[in-house]
Structure formats: structure tokens, C-alpha cells
Structure 1
Amino acid sequence: MIRITDSISLDPRDLSFSFIRASGPGGQNVNKVSTAVELRYDVANAFLPEDLKARLKPLAGRLLTQEGILVITAQEFRSQERNREAAIDRLAVLLRKAAVRPRRRIATRPTKASKTRRLDSKAKRSTTKKLRSAKSFHD
């Protein structure tokens, strides 16, 4: 099991991997060996809390397909195994971010002093702009 939080963990059997050729440096090896990893995780059918899925959608962005499949590509290493681990780590980080519930904002009223400061600064700005106006004094 891949542990995300204390209460959430993923079954490795739910992850599917495909190995593709990596772009970039690697010498002659890069043209022969498929070391880049494409991890696919079906978020839509996963056993995850619905609120987590909702928070994951904007976080994942273009990594999430229309069908609800999360696609993560890793190709920074020259071995399949290390790229596989990197993809799993990225998935875990993304899910950990989504697992954090945002704090509820408690509406507060502005203090009387802050209202006064705001109105004073508005009045000062107003007088500055009035002084800058192109009024003719020699009419």
C-alpha cells in the first residue's frame, strides 16, 4: 500500500504504468530503451473521499483527463525503476495537497480605526488629484 495520509492509502494495483521513450540527453541509449514512465490513476473510480476528488481536480489541471484519469509522466532519470518511483512520489504529493482541507473563513468586520484610515487616505488622494487638475487660474 502507498500511504498518502494517516487515513488514505492507495493500492498499487490501481496504478497502471506504461514505459515510453524519454526525450532529452542519454546518448545512444535514449533511442533504444523506453525509460520514461507514464503513470495512470483512475481518480473517478477510486476509493477516495468525494471532497478530496473535488479539490484534486483544479490542482491536477491538465494532468486529469475528461474521463477522470490522472496521467503523470516521469523521465528525469535514466532507469525505469527510478522514474517509476518519481511518478509515484509525484502522485502522492498531489494527493497530499488535495487532502488538506481549507480552513473555513470567519467573516470579520473592519474596525472603526481601519475605516477611518481608509477614508483619510481616500481624502488625501482626492486632494492630490484635485491639485493636479489642469485648471486655468488666469481667466
Structure 2
Amino acid sequence: MIEITARIRIPEEEILLSFVRASGPGGQNVNKVSTAVQLRFDLMGSPSLPEGVKLRAATLAGSRLTKDGVLVLQAQRFRTQERNREDAIERLVELLRAATIVAPKRRPTRPTLASKERRLAAKERRGSVKSLRRGKPDVD
């Protein structure tokens, strides 16, 4: 079981890992060994996640989510399969942890009486400065 939070855990069977050839550093090895990891997780079909978490995770995933609701993560930062596998799972956990955080609902506020008065006083000052600029200068 992969622990996301104290209440949410995902069985490892829900995650499908496949190894593909990576691009980038690795020398001759990069053409011979499949070290990059492609993690697939059926986000929308997972029985382990609550609906709210699924929806927020889908928003956070963006283009990494397929039309079928499958989350696809590619990990190829490291030169070994094991490190890339850990990296992919870690990134999945981070994404799902971020999705568990519910943003507080915004309550609309109104300006205070003092801030309204300050605004009107500032407008009055600006207006008086501009009115002084309108007149023609006195020629002595």
C-alpha cells in the first residue's frame, strides 16, 4: 500500500509501471537499457480515492490525464530503473497529496468606511492639484 495521507492509501496493484528507453544522459547505455519509467494510474476509476480528491487531482494533472481518466507520469531523471520508479511514485504521491487540500471558500468583502473616506480624500486632493494646473500663469 502506498500512503498518501493518514486516511488515503492506494494499493500498488492500481499502479501500472512500464519501462521504456530514456532520452538524455547515459552514453551508450541509453540506447540499450530501458531505464525510463512510465507510470499509469486510473485516477477516475480508482476505488481508493474520494470523488473530491479525484476531481482536484484531475485539474492538477492537466495534460498528463488521458481522456479515459488515466494519469500518465514519465520519469527519466535518473540513470537506473529503480530510482526512476521511486521518482514516478513520489511524484504521484505529491500530486495526490496536493489534491487532498481543499481551498477555503472565498467570502466577498466590502471596503471599510475608513478606506472609502481615504479614497475620497485622495481623489479630492488630486482634483485640487489638477484644477490648479488649469489656470494660466501670471505674467509680471
| TM-score greater than 0.5 by the shorter chain | yes
The 5 A counterparts of 1:10-89 are 10-47=10-47, 48-89=49-90
Question: What secondary structure sits across from 2:23 in the alignment?
Answer: coil
Q: Give RMSD over aligned pairs.
A: 2.2
Deviation track 1:47-98 (CA, whole Å, cap 9, x = no partner) reads 2111111111221111111111100000011110110000000000000000
- In structure 1, runs of 5+ residues without a counterpart are none
TM-score w.r.t. the length of structure 2 is 0.85
The aligned amino acid for 1:2 is I
Deviations, residues 82-138 of structure 1 (Å, cap 9, x unaligned): 100000000000000000011122333321011122333445556667778xx895x
CA distance in 1 between partners of 2:83 and 2:30 (Å)? 15
The structure having more radius of gyration, on CA atoms, is: 2
Residue in structure 1 matched with residue 5 of structure 2 by the alignment: 5
Question: Percent same amino acid among aligned pairs?
Answer: 55
Letter paired with 1:6: A
In structure 1, C-alpha distance between the alignment counterparts of 2:132 and 2:40, rounded to whole Å: 64
Letter matched to residue 60 of structure 1:
A
Aligned mates of 1:123, 1:8 — CA distance in 2? 58
Change (3 A) 1:91 1:126: farther
1:120 matched residue in structure 2: 121
Provide the C-alpha distance between the structure 2 equivalents of 1:49 and 1:107, rounded to a whole number of angstroms. 29
Name the TM-score, length of structure 1 as normaliser.
Answer: 0.86
Cα deviation for residue 6 of structure 1 reads 0.9
Query: How many corresponding residue pairs?
Result: 136
Structure 2, gaps ≥5 residues long: none
Letter in 2 for 1:90: R
**Counterpart of 1:107?**
108
